[in-house]
Structure 1
């Protein structure tokens, strides 16, 4: 039977001796989960953007980027959905690592997701 970690691509991001545990978690857990959920994140954000700005696809790239940044910074419900989609893919052991530093990890999730969405503007 497959488990959640079997679904994730193994990203070969080297860790050096000075790499801290938060960065290790980000590179070994968060990045593969975000990559796994990428298509769903895009679909959800496209739906969100279309409900807020019906002609979102006709906006300039700069306006789209600004909208992405503002939405993920200010819309707490949207942020919580994306964070929930991410942590929902964690194992119990990963949750034990996440919970004590959840504010740090949530900020990293949103930062990486914002960059991921912005870099894929062509698909929107």
Structure 2
């Protein structure tokens, strides 16, 4: 049976001796999980957006980008859903690292998710 890490694409992001544990975790764990879950994040956000603004798809790109940013920063339920989807893909070892500095990892996750969603809304 495949493990959670087997499901993730191995990204070629160099990690040097100067790299902090937080940066290494971001590169080796968070980014591959975000890439793996990308389609699900997009589907969830699209459903959320249309439930809040029925004509979301007809908004200008600028308004969509602003909505993405505001939603993930201010709507705690949405934010926690995305964080939970990401944390659910951690291994036990990764969970230990995550628990050591949850607030920093939450900020990094949300920032990366915002950028990921925004870049795909532009397409």
Shorter-chain TM band: over 0.9
Helix, strand or coil at the partner of 2:101? helix
Q: Give matches, 1:8-19, under 5 Å.
A: 8-19=8-19
How far, CA to CA, are the matches of 1:91 and 1:17 in structure 2?
23
Q: Residues 58-84 of structure 1, C-alpha deviation per residue, up to 9 Å, x if partnerless?
A: 000000000000000100000000000
Residue of structure 2 in register with 1:70 after alignment: 70
Q: 5+ residue gaps in structure 2? A: none
Q: Residues 24-81 of structure 1, C-alpha deviation per residue, up to 9 Å, x if partnerless?
A: 0000000000000000000000000000000000000000000000000100000000
TM-score with structure 2 setting the length: 0.98
Residue of structure 2 in register with 1:95 after alignment: 95
Q: Give matches, 1:1-124, under 5 Å.
A: 1-122=1-122
How far, CA to CA, are the matches of 1:16 and 1:90 in structure 2?
22
How far, CA to CA, are the matches of 2:36 and 2:15 in structure 1?
21
How many equivalent residue pairs?
Answer: 123
CA RMSD of aligned residues (A): 0.8
TM-score with structure 1 setting the length: 0.97
Deviation at 1:122, TM superposition (A): 4.5
Q: 5+ residue gaps in structure 1? A: none
Structure 1 segments, 4+ long, off by >3 Å, are none
